[in-house]
Amino acid sequence: MKYIVLIGDGMSDRPLAELNNKTCLQVAKTPNMDRLASEGVAGNVKTLPDGLPAGSDVANLSILGYNPKKYYTGRAPLEAASIGVKIGKDDVAYRCNLVTMKKVKKRIYLEDYSAGHIPTSEAAKLIREIDKRLGSSTIRFYSGVSYRHLMVWKKGKYRIDCIPPHDITGKEACDYMPMGDGEEVLWKMMEESGPVLEDHPVNRNRRKAGLKEANSIWLWGQGKRPSIPPFRQRYGLKGGLISAVDLMKGIGIYAGFKIINVKGATGYLDTNYEGKANAALRALKTLDLVYIHVASPDEASHNGDIKGKIKAIEDFDSKVLGVLLKGMERSVEDPTHRGGYRILLLPDHATPIDLKTHSREPVPFVIYPSPAGPKGPAEKKGKKVSYFDERIIKNKNLVFKEGYKLMDYFLGQ
């Protein structure tokens, strides 16, 4: 038996007046997702436990079968693992976004949490300059992907309330600065980053080209090094993970997965969808389970981009799921695939367009068995529907209030 977990990040939403009180998922043309729903079983799952951040880190730990209340320590340590930064047991890692601040009269607003989705090649130069000018024997900055970077504070403070920048787009920045023990260090880094970045050649060129400047850093998502047991130790399966996002790769590294990098995977609307699907099909020749994460619906949601989100969902359906289904159907006679396959499809969390950030409501899921596969417990319960969208949440037949229990159910354990 082969297993595929397919995550459309932030795909779930709320009804929008602009779409005649439908969601982007309801409006999008998704014949492949609808097929899975009609031939598999549907239910809903709460991936974000109360009391923890409403983030992809918490949600994806849940989906992978790890109780976040036990294993979650923060977002940034997971990203550190992805970019090869080792964290001492007393060190604290912070996510460091390159952002665009805009001054209106005497007030400063956070205009863009991603600095216009700045390319990694440009961002790396800016982070190197930040580390050179603001780094020290106790604080270092490390380059990641696009706007997503890292700060490590040796024996640092972490009991600080930090707000994700994508939660405050368009709002006055001073109302959302870090608060708590050690806040003054973070304030200093964030305030001093402005003059360092403003006159950098990268930003001079971006101004000339009419692009958003990366004129500040924003620190958040802090935590210490986690201790997560390997997925194979828990389930007896060899796993692989495909994502463009360092956070997801870091989770995969801690889970003991093979990290499968795909050329052209950007984490945005221009990502290489087909490349991810084809990489998964190749990986399944030697692995038991592949976890595929697609970030583009979430990115469109954070930008309030309705058309972009609909397109991202449709591309996810046709270019990822469609390619996967054709490939798996062709390969059921392959000796490495005999026994069939099973797919778990879901958003990791909701990211409503009108909020431009994550929300805590349950999300729909579908478990799809191949015709060649044996019927496990996941196919013996649940209500069949002819669509994959938020209406499935009303289905009370198959409900997981503790999201980390869904993986056991999916694997028939």
Reduce the secondary structure of 180-197 to three states and give it as a string.
ECCHHHHHHHHHHHHHHH
Global pTM value:
0.88
> Residue 64 CB: number of other CB atoms within 10 A?
26
Q: What's the pLDDT tens digit per position in 52-94?
A: 999 999 999 999 999 999 999 999 999 999 999 999 999 999 9
Cβ-count burial of 258 within 10 angstroms (0-12 exposed, 13-18 middle, 19+ buried)?
Answer: middle
Q: What's the pLDDT tens digit per position in 179-213?
A: 999 999 999 999 999 999 999 999 999 999 999 99
Residue pair 43/397 in contact (Cβ under 8 Å)? The answer is yes
Quote the pLDDT of residue 396. 80
Quote the pLDDT of residue 332. 58
Question: pLDDT below 50 — which residues of the chain?
Answer: none
Residue pair 235/257 in contact (Cβ under 8 Å)? The answer is no
Q: Give the C-alpha distances (Å, rounded to integers) separating 71 from 54, 62, 75, 93, 382.
A: 15, 10, 12, 16, 29
Quote the pLDDT of residue 395. 77
48 DSSP assignment: S
Residue pair 5/344 in contact (Cβ under 8 Å)? The answer is yes
Rounded to a whole number of angstroms, the distance between the first and last alpha carbons of the chain is: 14
Rounded to an integer, what distance in angstroms lies between the CA atom of residue 56 and that of residue 264?
22
Instruction: Find the helix or strand (DSSP H, E) in which 109 lies.
Output: strand 107-112
